Amino acid sequence: MKPISLLDLAAQRERIETDLENRLAAVMAHHRYILGPEVGELEKVLAEKTGMRHAVTCSSGTDALLLALMAKNVGPGDAIFTTPFTFVATAEVIELLGATPVFVDIEIDSFNISADALSAQINRIEAESELKPRGIIAVDLFGLPADYQSINLVADAHDLFVIADAAQSFGGRLDNSPVGGLAEISATSFFPAKPLGCYGDGGAVFTDDDEVASAFTSIRMHGKGTDKYDNIRHGLNARLDTLQAAVLLAKLPIFEDEIAARNRIAEDYSKGLPDVVKTPSVPAKTTSAWAQYSILVDNRDSVIDSLTEAGVPTAIYYPKPLHLQTAYASHKHQPGDFPVSEEASQKIMSLPIHPYLDDDQVHFIINAVIDACSQTGAVC
């Protein structure tokens, strides 16, 4: 059996090698490294894939979120509701603009923001705070789309915008609508380890709104107006490199197949793993992109030690929720403020789920978890 890894970019590269090399050579022949023709070609494919009028590529998933908030003119005094159980970028961009992230706890079954807790938190801020509620950033954690039906209803009731942090979920679906089209604005990441990753940093934002899309193309290029030396707003240098667009174009033809492989592995895990671990649930009519397959287990450290010894790598996303991070200390949160996120942080661990794991490896991993749990007496 091949050694098991968390990611196998070499196997993927072997599969796309000829197309990839041709596309990279084409960029190196035309030398249009910034906003070259591959960027426009990619944006057209991404817009078609998501059914959105506009897909605007950018330099990272973090900048995609920043573009979304900047296009909505978010600034000091604004409250943006989001989850503390996420990668730091989700809240960081809110702080960078001088606005305030207001955390809302998650649901343990999905690891995504709870629509009921969201509603309660918005009511509390409206009643008790000087902050102005402006918007919501829902995160599709581990690739599972958040409950946008409920979240969009809550947002409409309070006149808030919704941004989907779809950094981990590109390729997922909800009610047959693809990720990218589930909220007013969606932001994704093409970081190499994401379901659709390039060979460096990259990202994209999606919207149906022409004005918002035109703000995206302006902000990603220093706030340009009619041309790059006409500056109509403050902006960023946040474009996607042409070479990264070429990499993504080479990967897109195999992407659906890779998502299907991730789903098959997730199904095998969910059927085969022992009852003592809590496996992830996927709501009806929802397809996860399975960026991660995360389980909850007591005795996590011993389970991880046992798996490491057996040659099964694991990861912990995320060991500390954002409200307890030093960078967010000014919000004066205490342990116990978001108990579901805290419990998840203590018990969560992720198993390998890349599309190039073969059946033998998947069954080896399942058996290694069964052994680890029986050796360590793990319970969930």
Ligand X SMILES: Cc1ncc(COP(=O)(O)O)c(C=O)c1O
Q: Give residues in contact with ligand X (CB under 6 A).
A: 60-62, 86-87, 89-90, 139, 165, 167-168, 189, 191, 201, 203
Shortest distance (Å) from residue 201 CB to ligand X: 6
- Rounded to whole angstroms, the Cα distance separating 265 from 8 reads 15
Which C-beta is closer to ligand X: that of 163 or that of 273? 163
Shortest distance (Å) from residue 235 CB to ligand X: 18
Shortest distance (Å) from residue 170 CB to ligand X: 11
Task: For residue 185, report the phi and psi dihedrals to the nearest 5 degrees.
Answer: -135, 135
Shortest distance (Å) from residue 161 CB to ligand X: 17
Shortest distance (Å) from residue 186 CB to ligand X: 12
- Rounded to whole angstroms, the Cα distance separating 300 from 302 reads 6
Which C-beta is closer to ligand X: that of 165 or that of 241? 165
Q: Which of 198, 288, 206 shows the shortest CA–CA distance to 247?
A: 198
Residue 285 near residue 174 (C-beta atoms within 8 A): yes
> 32-37: long-range contacts at Cβ-Cβ below 8 A with a sequence spacing of 24 or more?
32/242, 33/241, 33/242, 33/243, 34/239, 34/241, 34/242, 35/239, 35/242, 36/242, 36/245, 37/242
Which C-beta is closer to ligand X: that of 147 or that of 361? 147
Residue 7, H or E segment: none
3-state secondary structure of 241: strand
Which C-beta is closer to ligand X: that of 163 or that of 362? 163
Which C-beta is closer to ligand X: that of 60 or that of 376? 60
Residue 74 near residue 80 (C-beta atoms within 8 A): yes
Shortest distance (Å) from residue 82 CB to ligand X: 10
Which C-beta is closer to ligand X: that of 144 or that of 249? 144
189 DSSP 8-state letter: E
Nearest residue to ligand X, by Cβ distance, number only: 61
